[in-house]
Structure 1
Amino acid sequence: MKQVNFLIIFIFCLALALFTIENTKLATIYIVPGVQVQAPIAVELLLATGLGAVFAWLFSMWTQLQRQLLSSPQRKQNVRIQELESKIEQYQAEVQSLQLALPPSSDSSTKETETNVPNTRSSNVQ
């Protein structure tokens, strides 16, 4: 892949060099109102290409930095924690809905009823 990239860049630079050799006439660049510069078209083209390359490099560095920040271990842990918390809420809601669907529970401990057993002692009546 690196050879393909090198070949593309080499062909582009060769075409740029040939184009600049053919275009040596002076041209005027208007930077801001009242400020203008006269330079050969070749120089202007090389400067524009150089600035474009620098901006492309800065953009690639910026996106790489963003990827590194987003993929930091702390970020991954925070995402995982949020996923688990949402699952907990989901499971709690599911348990509550299942509890509402169940019939009321019966008291499993039986109540002891007191029975009045007649006194079996014989009483001595005099």
Structure 2
Amino acid sequence: MRQLNFVVIFVVALALVLFALENTAAAPIQIIPQIKVAAPISVELILAMGLGAVLAWIFSVWSGLQKSIEMRNQNMQIQNLKETVENLTVEIEERKRLVSASAIDVEIDEDKSKN
């Protein structure tokens, strides 16, 4: 996989170099109404691509943070539900024990009344 990444990066870099060699004509860029900059078209394109890459990286980091926060919230909900299930299981077992104890008392009372 590393070799494939290297080949892709090399091809993109070579294409950028060839593009830069062919497009050396200056073109004006108006950043804000008072500021104008003249730079070769290739430099402008490379800067625009770099800005796009930085914005994509920031978006990726932001998405990752949102996903990790969501996962943390889900894990907390899962933990709370597990605790609720454990508490309900204990309560059910206690009620079963009480019901079986009262059933034994009823059987004992029936046996005493027969005698």
**Structural RMSD (CA):** 4.1
1:49 is matched with: 49
1:80 is matched with: 78
The share of aligned pairs that are identical, in percent, is 47
Contact kept? 1:29, 1:36, Cα under 8 Å: yes
- Which digits, 9 at most, give the CA deviation of each residue in 1:69-124, with x for residues without a partner? 2223x641x3325767xx9xxxxxxxxxxxxxxxxxxxxxxxxxxxxxxxxxxxxx
Contact kept? 1:27, 1:41, Cα under 8 Å: yes
CA–CA separation in structure 2 for the residues paired with 1:6 and 1:52:
21
Cα 1:79–1:62 shift into 2, 3 Å: same
- Which digits, 9 at most, give the CA deviation of each residue in 1:34-70, with x for residues without a partner? 3221111122122112212222222222222223222
Structure (1 or 2) with the greater helix fraction: 2
**1:21 to partner: Cα distance:** 0.8
Tell me, which stretches of 5 or more residues in structure 1 are unaligned? 88-126
TM-score, length-normalised on structure 2? 0.58
Tell me, which stretches of 5 or more residues in structure 2 are unaligned? 86-115
Q: Aligned residues, how many?
A: 103
CA–CA separation in structure 2 for the residues paired with 1:66 and 1:2:
29
Cα 1:56–1:2 shift into 2, 3 Å: farther
| Secondary structure class of the residue paired with 1:71 | helix
Work out whether 1:22 is the aligned partner of 2:19: no
TM-score, length-normalised on structure 1? 0.54
**Match for 1:28: what amino acid?**
P
Compare CA radii of gyration and give the structure with the larger one.
Answer: 1
| Secondary structure class of the residue paired with 2:50 | helix
Cα 1:58–1:12 shift into 2, 3 Å: same
CA–CA separation in structure 1 for the residues paired with 2:77 and 2:2:
35
Contact kept? 1:26, 1:40, Cα under 8 Å: yes
1:64 is matched with: 64
| Secondary structure class of the residue paired with 2:9 | helix
Contact kept? 1:28, 1:37, Cα under 8 Å: yes
